[in-house]
Structure 1
Amino acid sequence: PEKTLVDMYLKPLAEEVRTHGGTVYGTKQEVILLVDIKANGKEAYEQLQKDLKPFHSFLSRFRRGRTVQRAVKVILSGDRPIQEVAAQKERFVFIDGRTENLGGDPNLYPLISESFLPRFKYLGTGAFGDADSKTLTDFVRKAHASRQLVRFWATPETPTMWSILFDHKVDLIGTDKQTDLASFLSSKLKLKR
C-alpha cells in the first residue's frame, strides 16, 4: 500500500471494523488514532477532512454539543488547527490537549499530552520520588475527573518507567519498543486478574 493515512491506517481499520461487527477488536473499546500534524495544520486539516469522509461510519464524532462514540476516535496532535476544529458544529476529529487544557472540555480535548522531562525529575533509573509521584497522581486525577485521558511523551523507554505510568493510571504509553511494551502490558494485565 501507499504510505498514506488512508492506506496505512484508515482502510485497515475499516476492515477490522467490518470483521468485528462495528468495533476494531470485537470489544466496545474505542481505538485512538493519533494523527501528528508536522506543519501547516490548517491546510493539513482540510485534506484530512476529505480523507476521513469515506470512513465517517466508524469514527467518533462531535455533534449537537456532545461526543458520539464509535470504533475509532481521531485525535490531532502536533501543529493542531485548534480554532478550525473548535468552530465546527459537527466534526470527526478531536484535539490533543496540553496542560493548559487540563480540566477543559473533553469534547474538544479528550486527551492531555505533555512532555515528561520538564515536569518530572525522574530520568529512568532509581526510585520515582515522592514529589514526582504526587505530581503525576494529581495530574492524572484531574484529567480523569474531567473525562480526559493522559499521555506523556519523552518518557524513558524502560519497563520501570512503563510500570510507573501503568501504576499511576496513565492511559496511553507511547514507545518505539512496541513488542517490549506489549509483553510488559500482557504480563501486568495477567497479574491484575
Structure 2
Amino acid sequence: MARFICICLIVCWSQWSVAQKVHAHNDYEKPEPLTAAIRSQAGSIEADVFLVDGKLMVAHDKSQIQPGRTLDSLYLKPIATLFGQNKSRQSANGSVSKDRKYTFQLLIDLKDNGVEAIEELQKAVAPYRTCFDRAMNPMAIQLVVSGSRPPIANWIDYPAYILFDGRPSELYDDETIKHVALFSDTFQTYSRWNGEGEMPDKDRETLKRFIKRAHAQDKPIRFWAAPDNANSWKQLAKIGVDYINTDKVEECAKALK
C-alpha cells in the first residue's frame, strides 16, 4: 500500500512539474499589467527591463521608456501588496492569490547592462524579500533573469532566489544547472509551421526530442516566436511544451483548460 501511494505521488509530481502553463509575453504592454495575467493564473509573466540612471525601467524599446513605469511600480510593489492582502494563519507571509496553490515566475528580460541591472534588482527586491524568496516563503514568486544575463560561470554566485533563463545551446555543470529555471529558444529554430492545420510530423518529432531532453533535466521549456492561436496552443501543449508563449493570455488560458 505504501509503495502504491509513493508511486501515485511520483506520478502526480511528474504531471505537475511539466504541466502546461501560460507565459504572458510582454505583459507590461497590456491594459492591465500583472492584474489580468494573475486573473488568468498565468504561470509565467514577462517584463522587459532597461537600467537607466540606476532605475529598472519597464519598456519594449529604450525609446518607449516613460517616467514612473519602473519594475518596482508595475510589478514588485503590487505583488508585495497582494501578498499582504492574502495572509492567513496557514500562510503568515501570504500568497499572491486567494488560491494558495497558485504562484508564478516573473521573467525579467534585461535588455542591457545585465550585471549592473541584477545588482539593482537585488536592492529593489530587498524590501519585499519574503514575496520573492522561496526559502522564506514556499509561495513566493520566482524571479528569472533572461536577456542580458551575466556570464554563465558567475550564476552560482547570485542569491538562490534569482534563477536564470537557460538556452539549449549552452553547457552547464552540475552546480550551475541548479540555477537554471527553464530552457527557452525561438520556435523558428525547430519549425516554420504557421499554426494552421496539423503541425508537420517531422517538426513535431524534432520538438518532442528537445522537450524530452529538457524534461530529463527537470527543466520546463518555452518557445518564443511560436504561432499564437488556439490551434497551435493545443498542439504545443499536447507535445509537452510547459510555458505557452502568448500575447492572448485570457484566451489561451481558457483554451488550455
TM-score (norm 2): 0.63
Change beyond 3 A, Cα 1:150–1:60: farther
Matched residue, 1:19: 85
Structure 2 unaligned regions, length at least 5: 1-66, 88-93
Please tell me whether the aligned partners of residues 160 and 179 of structure 2 are also in contact (alpha carbons under 8 angstroms): no
Structure 1 unaligned regions, length at least 5: none
Root-mean-square deviation (Å): 2.6
What is the one-letter code of the residue matched to 1:135? Answer: T
Matched residue, 2:42: none
Q: Please identify runs of 4+ aligned residues in structure 1 that moved more than 4 A.
A: 101-106
Q: Which moved more, 1:172-181 or 1:53-62?
A: 53-62
Deviation at 1:13, TM superposition (A): 1.1
> Which deviations, in whole Å up to 9, do the C-alpha atoms of 1:14-55 show, x marking residues without a partner?
122222332223323431000010111112112111111112
Structure 2 residue matching 1:174: 3-state secondary structure: strand
Deviation at 1:85, TM superposition (A): 5.1
Deviation at 1:180, TM superposition (A): 2.3
Matched residue, 1:161: 232
Please tell me whether the aligned partners of residues 114 and 152 of structure 1 are also in contact (alpha carbons under 8 angstroms): yes
Structure 2 residue matching 1:33: 3-state secondary structure: strand
Deviation at 1:129, TM superposition (A): 1.6
Q: Does 1:54 align with 2:127?
A: yes
Q: Which residues in structure 2 correspond to 1:59-74 (within 5 Å)?
A: 59-60=132-133, 69-74=138-143
Q: Distance in 1 between matches of 2:140 and 2:224?
A: 25
Please tell me whether the aligned partners of residues 85 and 93 of structure 1 are also in contact (alpha carbons under 8 angstroms): no
Q: Which has the higher contact order (CA 8 A, sep 6+)?
A: 2
Q: Which residues in structure 2 correspond to 1:71-150 (within 5 Å)?
A: 71-83=140-152, 86-88=155-157, 90-101=159-170, 105-150=176-221
> Which deviations, in whole Å up to 9, do the C-alpha atoms of 1:116-169 show, x marking residues without a partner?
012113222232122221222222222222121111000111111111121122
Q: Give the counterpart of 1:151 among 222, 226, 231.
A: 222
Please tell me whether the aligned partners of residues 79 and 131 of structure 2 are also in contact (alpha carbons under 8 angstroms): no
Structure 1 residue matching 2:188: 3-state secondary structure: coil
How many pairs does the alignment contain? Answer: 182
Larger radius of gyration, structure 1 or 2?
Answer: 2
Q: Distance in 2 between matches of 1:34 and 1:28?
A: 20
Q: Distance in 2 between matches of 1:137 and 1:24?
A: 33
What is the one-letter code of the residue matched to 1:132? Answer: D
Change beyond 3 A, Cα 1:60–1:83: same
Change beyond 3 A, Cα 1:123–1:89: closer
Q: Which moved more, 1:25-34 or 1:6-15?
A: 25-34
Q: Which moved more, 1:68-77 or 1:154-163?
A: 68-77
Structure 1 residue matching 2:105: 3-state secondary structure: strand
Structure 1 residue matching 2:180: 3-state secondary structure: coil
Q: Give the counterpart of 1:4 among 70, 81, 92.
A: 70
Matched residue, 2:10: none
Structure 1 residue matching 2:178: 3-state secondary structure: coil
